[in-house]
Amino acid sequence: MTKRGRPPHPDTLTPAEWRVVEGVRHGLTNPAIAARCNLSVDAVKFHVSSALGKLGLTSRRELQQWSGVRADSARARAGDQERPDDWLLGQVSRTTRDLPAMADWLRDVVGLREMMRFETAAFFDCGGVRLYLSAGDPANNSLLYFRVGDIEAAVAMLRERGVTIRSAPHRIHVHEDGTEEWMAFFTDPEGGPLGLMSVIPAAGGELT
């Protein structure tokens, strides 16, 4: 006799449950997960309840702390590639009142490489560090400094594109070996400050 119904999934959770659980672990609400996964809120609640039952957990907080890894992920295939003490800066976040306008400005005026964009977020590559831009109040944003090779040329480019320069390139420190650190500041479309930094080697040295 042939059994009916969907065959058992080879992983701990189904793909749909994994998508919802990852949303929970990211700190999203059920409505936000529903919008992200194109599900109804009731479906999200069902998947959360199902995952809790399968994992023997009793609360959303426990689910958020659960450290399971989906079997088809790159992490599961590759294992841990870095030592626990290899702390590398991977992403910085910044909020904006008008996400589409700010994302367009960072891409088209500043010249950052846009990696991906969604309704509520955009991501840019900044020399290996990812900038995460999201909608929100920018009042408490931290100051971002973009490291450039030629700070004078970078400021000239921004001026030509109509960007307000807060302060021209200026030297802020000279190291004992003669290496100089320079900075300049400019303004984003919402009036927030952004910095440029450049390290200029001592005579005969190489630019870093």
Q: Calculate the alpha carbon distances from 33 to 26, 89, 129, 136 in Å.
A: 10, 27, 26, 18
Tokens for 167, please give them. 């302060």
**Residue-range domain boundaries for the chain:** 15-70, 91-140, 143-208
Domain 15-70 annotated CATH 1.10.10.10: yes
Domain 143-208 falls in which CATH fold?
2,3-Dihydroxybiphenyl 1,2-Dioxygenase; domain 1 (3.10.180)
Per-residue confidence (pLDDT) for residue 4, from 0 to 100: 56
**Coil, helix or strand for 9?**
coil
For residues 84-110, average pLDDT: 90
Per the CB < 8 A criterion, the answer to whether 17 and 51 are in contact is yes
Per-residue confidence (pLDDT) for residue 70, from 0 to 100: 83
CATH number of 91-140: 3.10.180.10
The conformational region for residue 111 under phi > 0 = left, psi -120 to 50 = alpha, else beta, is left
pTM for the full predicted model: 0.71
pLDDT, tens digit, 9 for 90 and up, residues 133-161: 999 999 889 999 999 989 999 999 999 99
Same fold, 15-70 and 91-140: no
